[in-house]
Amino acid sequence: MHKHRLGMLVSATVFIVAGYLVLFYSNGEPEFSCSELGGTCKGSCGMGETRANGCGSLACCVPAGATAGSALVADAVAKRDLSMCAGLDESSAAYCKLLVIDALSHDMASKYNDEKYCFDISDLATKEDCMRGLALKTRNMSLCSAISSESMRDKCFVMFVSGSGDWQICAEKVGQQLNRDICFRQLAVATKNAEICRQISMESGSANCMLMVELALASSSSVDCSSLPEEECSAVKGCKPVLITDARELLNEVYAGCSRDAKFFCEQTGGRWAVESKGMEISETCDCKGRAYYEGYGCFGCSVFKLAKYDCMKRINSA
């Protein structure tokens, strides 16, 4: 009986959310003009502006902090509640609804692993974050090609290089030089092949890449946590979710990626993880007891390194 009622509740919730999306979208475009959103049509948006649709080939730039009742907007987005937007003035209400609908679309894309909901999102940054997250979650690299921002598109492709070991991703799909260098570094570390580091354009970047390869060789785990989707991050030993506060989510912590767990590797390699409070600030450090500390990898004696021996000694002397 309880399972049946729960199933009906879930179905009703999905129906309501889908209804919101149908009600406020027509042919993939929100039914608000740029002026109704309190925005201005421009060639591109600047810092502190959210990009929305409503200007044809131009961008509708809405001042992110200029919306009346911003706390109410954040609350509406966090609760995914369109009705909360009704208490705002016309332009603020339209902007509020836009953000809530974007959040709902993002949720639906993740729930059903369907990129069509990402395409419904008006805010460009949110849309591309949706595509990037879905590409990683579904292991579908082709979704990266739909991202319009070259930098974001590159970063999407880079997420796949560690798991595939495919040289062509870096050489052919990643456009910007900086991102291509990052791609080659991740590939070198994933395959533990320092020769790949020679493909990096900057000499300092190549040297850092070789250091990372040596760390991967010396470490008990060279897992690339950055390539893991949210659902897998916490389940993989040595990885942890990166959480940030998001104003649109009422300053709640939201998932912002996956990284190697510094505390785990510190303690695994014989270090002591120390947490200190200084007023409002909290600092976390690893005491390696005379050895060199590498964040995300742990404590090492310099004898394990060849190319990175000088860097290792430098870290010990400066500790």
DSSP string, 126-168: HHHHHHHHHHHHHT-GGGGGG--SHHHHHHHHHTTHHHH--HH
Q: What is the pLDDT of residues 217-234, one digit of tens each?
A: 888 777 788 778 877 888
- The torsion angles phi and psi of 261, rounded to 5 degrees, stand at -85, 105
Confidence of residue 262 (pLDDT cuts 50, 70, 90): very high
Confidence (pLDDT) at 282: 79
Confidence of residue 19 (pLDDT cuts 50, 70, 90): very low
Judge whether 78 and 72 are in contact, CB under 8 Å. no
Judge whether 191 and 169 are in contact, CB under 8 Å. no
> Which is higher by pLDDT, 91 or 235?
235
77-96: average pLDDT: 85
DSSP 3-state of 218: helix
Tokens of 38: 């309190």
Neighbour-count burial of 104, counting CB atoms closer than 10 A to its CB (0-12 exposed, 13-18 middle, 19+ buried): buried
Measured CA to CA, the distance from residue 136 to residue 226 in angstroms comes to 10
pLDDT over 70, % of the chain? 78
Residue type, 100: V
* Residue carrying the six token digits 């009600």: 23
29: pLDDT strictly greater than 50: no
154-176: average pLDDT: 88
Tokens of 200: 């990096």
Confidence (pLDDT) at 64: 58
Confidence of residue 254 (pLDDT cuts 50, 70, 90): low
Tokens of 163: 């798991």
126-151: average pLDDT: 89
29-38: average pLDDT: 57
Residue type, 126: T
